[in-house]
Structure 1
Amino acid sequence: MSTLVDKLNNHLQTLSKIIIDNKLQTESYMSLQKTLEAISFYIKKYNLELSVDCTITSTECDVCYHPIKQKNEKNKITFQCNHHCCSNDCLKNHVMHSNRYLTDYQETKCPKCNKYIMPNIIENAYGGKDEFEIFLQKYEDERAARFDCGICYTKTRVDEGITFNCDHRFCQACVKDFANAMIDQGSVSEKELACADCGNPISPVILKFILTPTYFERFIKFRNREYIPENEEGAIVFYKCTGNDCEWFVVCDEAIEIVTCPSCRIKNCPKCRDLPHIGLTCEQNEKRKEDERLERLRKQKEEEKAVKDKEDEDEFIEAAKKLGFKTCPHCKSMCERISGCNFMRCYSKSCAGKKNFCLLCEKAITDAQHYSHYKAQGPYGKICNALDGTPE
């Protein structure tokens, strides 16, 4: 009988272990079935009665309905309505599936009583308010719609972009930096402050939205200076002074060629606002300036070429001298002694064999100095009058 009791105890312990350890998975079905069959066999064979005392030691999660074991009680989260969930992951999963967007997390309700879950409880599940805000920012950034900015050529969130009236869209930061740079240099005309794709002017309403009050005020000031009223009869000219921060203006007859600002004493043509150009129309003056600019550019290129040619020539002469070539003092041609003495006769096109020089000192000498220039050692020696200081 003791053997029977031992066998039953062993089978019951196996059964308890399977249930308590929550191993009722697919892979444990076979062992569970065999254990129950063995217990049933002994009960029927010996006509026994089996009493089972079950004590529930775990609670059920009110969110995922899985049991919460005693060893996991420390991970349990209790809502203000006294319902609870089994873990942080369980609550985060509930938040994600209960709302269309994570930003609506404050609308999360308890699945048991349908009461709102306190936001701080949800935030704590993510590690605290600061950690949750970081996670929320990353979550939103990953899911935000994006576009390709035509200025910086990067993918940018749509809500961080600016759409112009021409329907082209750019980064708000790019447009702001571009506008600030143009305002800093006073380039605020409609052609200059324009869309990078199509050239249509940027609306002042958009500029007011993205610029600081200081920069927008400067934009308005510069734009007003650029304003020239239309005049169908061509009888008057509206002129604003070009001085920095000078707001003086005058309406004058178009025949006037020079206007002097009474404030900063700047003189300009009132029509084109350039320096005075008496005797020339504004168009002629503009052409003259362009011609002068092209002439300066041409001269600059010529000077650069001359410097480069001189450097190349000096480099060539230096290399030639290392190879034994000498420079004719008359025509500056390179000469090489093939044979004979140090009295050299140049046969270049310029000298044509009529000019002479000393191979040693490279100074010009005459036919009469063929021997007298080499008093110390003669024309075949290694020294001449110029080198040893002997008077001619």
Structure 2
Amino acid sequence: MGCKPSRKFDCYFCKKRCKTYPLGCSSHGGCESCLFTYFIRCISVESLEISQIPCLYCRTLIPKKLVKYILSKKTIQAPEPCWTLTIESILKSKQPLVNFQCPICFTLQIPANGYTLKCGDVFCRQCLNMYITEKIRGNDQSSINCPDCKKPLNEQDITLNIEPQVSELYEQNRIKMLSFEYEGEKLIICPFCQEGFTINKEELESRCPFCMKLFCFRCYTYHPKSKCNLIVAIQGVTNCPKCGEGVMKVGGCNFVTCRWKVCRGNVHFCYLCGQQLSITEHGSHYGRHGAFGKSCKGLEARNAIANLK
């Protein structure tokens, strides 16, 4: 394909009838000004290489020769405001422009299934929904971070990836769990009755004045005469079925990867039952509960055997 414009057709961006450049696919094309704007934004905002820019409509990769030619044009009239608004709305949708592999479920996803966090990491919406929902329902929404780089998620990234009923719970918890310090006091929420009350910021455990239950403010459980970090170390470790080393998970997906020296990230297993799994079993091993739930096929099999005894 050459870089000369075709006869006059409707530009698929600004919808004007003008000389357009075919984008390498069978039916889409754009005028110089619209293509220039689109290419610049793909490179500067999405950090794409010139060989990775897809057709905005059918996702066919646009020939690198055409991208170079359009970007080399020095005098291109500014695009119409309507097209500028169109591309802005596409970028604000947080949808990636190319196919991607979700770092949580390791499956190849199309752009429509993806979401780009403020930090730049991309995940499939299903995994983000399960991850964020688990954090909110588990009274752990103060530490909703990117599963990859661990940077905190902003409010938009959270609310756009949860169901309406979970969003209501998020707002309720946000009000109750709003931490503040006033003369050495801090507001927390009871994990049992969901009521908020103030404590001395130096305290590690106390009794809820509403339901009268005692709990630790770090792990939200009661462990008398034991340090919180010790309890976490004892109760929060699953041994890798391959190398035998302990792996500790703090929230997130139950499909984990062993990164000890022997396994080097090549061994995956279930954090709940300890069974070694393959990449393809990421979803099937957990059934309807999902990888963020509290059950799996391994635990269900053990329970079934125990009930027979």
Smaller-chain TM-score bracket: 0.3 to 0.5
- Which of these two proteins has the greater Rg computed from alpha carbons? 1
TM-score normalised by structure 1 residue count: 0.32
TM-score normalised by structure 2 residue count: 0.39
